[in-house]
Amino acid sequence: MRRTERVFVENLGIHGFHGLIAEEKSLGQKFYADIECLVARDEAPSDTMNDAVDYGKVCDLAHDISASGPFNLIETLAERIGHGVMETFPLVSTVRVRIRKPNAPIRHFLDHVGVEIELSRD
């Protein structure tokens, strides 16, 4: 029997200096990340962390990658987090990263803008 696990983090708050405008790079702002990891396997995992995706480490990874910026585009931030997850967690077959920017410097009223990327192993 084939099974798929979905390990996820939702609404991870990240502070970063990402954006194209000088104020974004000097003042920084908050971003929110959703990170979803899919693990496909033929049998249930053991009851140890060696056989699991540590969501605490996923959060640490996202924070560290954001701190390594600044990035002009949140697409770049999402891409780097996605690649970091795939490199760090060999159990993950697919990762989906969604970055939301609640204080985008645009003149419209909205909750947030954002991007979502998905990476899969060949």
102, 30 contact by CB (below 8 A): yes
How far apart CA 81 and CA 74 sit, in angstroms, is: 11
- Annotation says 30 is catalytic: no
**Nearest partner of 98 among 35, 7, 30, judged by Cα:** 35
Measure CA 39 to chain center. Answer: 16
List, by residue number, the catalytic residues.
Answer: 101
